[in-house]
A and B are shown apart, each in its own frame.
Chain A
Amino acid sequence: DAGVTQSPTHLIKTRGQHVTLRCSPISGHKSVSWYQQVLGQGPQFIFQYYEKEERGRGNFPDRFSARQFPNYSSELNVNALLLGDSALYLCASSQGAGLYNEQFFGPGTRLTVL
């Protein structure tokens, strides 16, 4: 079975631009979460979606938005990019949205903002 997939793998943008990152969860998984990992730090929670509804939001500005599609894939959008948005963006999927659902991570999208 295919694991969590993310696209693109690498991306270079300039300040002020907009970016869309994509994630396909493991087949049968209905929950997708997004994390930002700045170099040298642990991942920080951005969003969780379950059954196409937002279930959680981390401490990120409104420039960050996301959505989940009927096939449970997800997009993360970041507007007005800043240099500080340069990071590895990780997507994780799980079957459900609760405490005991194991999360499986994708390989990540490495975003560089110049």
Chain B
Amino acid sequence: AQKITQTQPGMFVQEKEAVTLDCTYDTSDQSYGLFWYKQPSSGEMIFLIYQGSYDEQNATEGRYSLNFQKARKSANLVISASQLGDSAMYFCAMREGILTGGGNKLTFGTGTQLKVEL
């Protein structure tokens, strides 16, 4: 089974609208972390937001928020008030805990290409 599943290969959103990028994950660990990264065409991975498995509140960072539903094993990224500069590839990633030899290893999904339109 895929550890990280992103089912939306491409998404379009109008400028100033909100958009939700889906991510589901699979792990047997109780302790893990979920991350979202943005990758512009230049290639660099830019960290957006982090959610720990024991965090009771959903993470927020400016216009980014993470809709964490632990029972459903989903960690969707919500971008509010989209801007043209948000057009990029977005990756969901997971770092698993000691039980599965996590360390610093990140497991990435296949990504969602977001296009913000005027």
Contact = CB atoms under 8 A, between A and B. Distances in A.
Interface of A: 31, 33, 35, 40-45, 48, 50, 55-56, 58, 88, 90, 92, 94, 97-108, 110
Interface of B: 4, 31-33, 37, 42-47, 50, 52, 91, 93, 95, 97-98, 101-111
Contacts of B97: 99
Nearest to B111: A42
Contact of B52 (A40, A94, A100): A100
B45 A43 contact: yes
A45 B105 contact: yes
16 contacts: A33-B104, A42-B93, A43-B91, A43-B108, A45-B105, A48-B103, A48-B104, A56-B103, A56-B105, A58-B105, A90-B45, A99-B95, A99-B97, A100-B52, A105-B47, A108-B44
Contacts of B42: 107
B105 to A, nearest CB: 5
Contact of A97 (B50, B91, B103): B103
Contacts of A40: 110
A110 B32 CA distance: 30
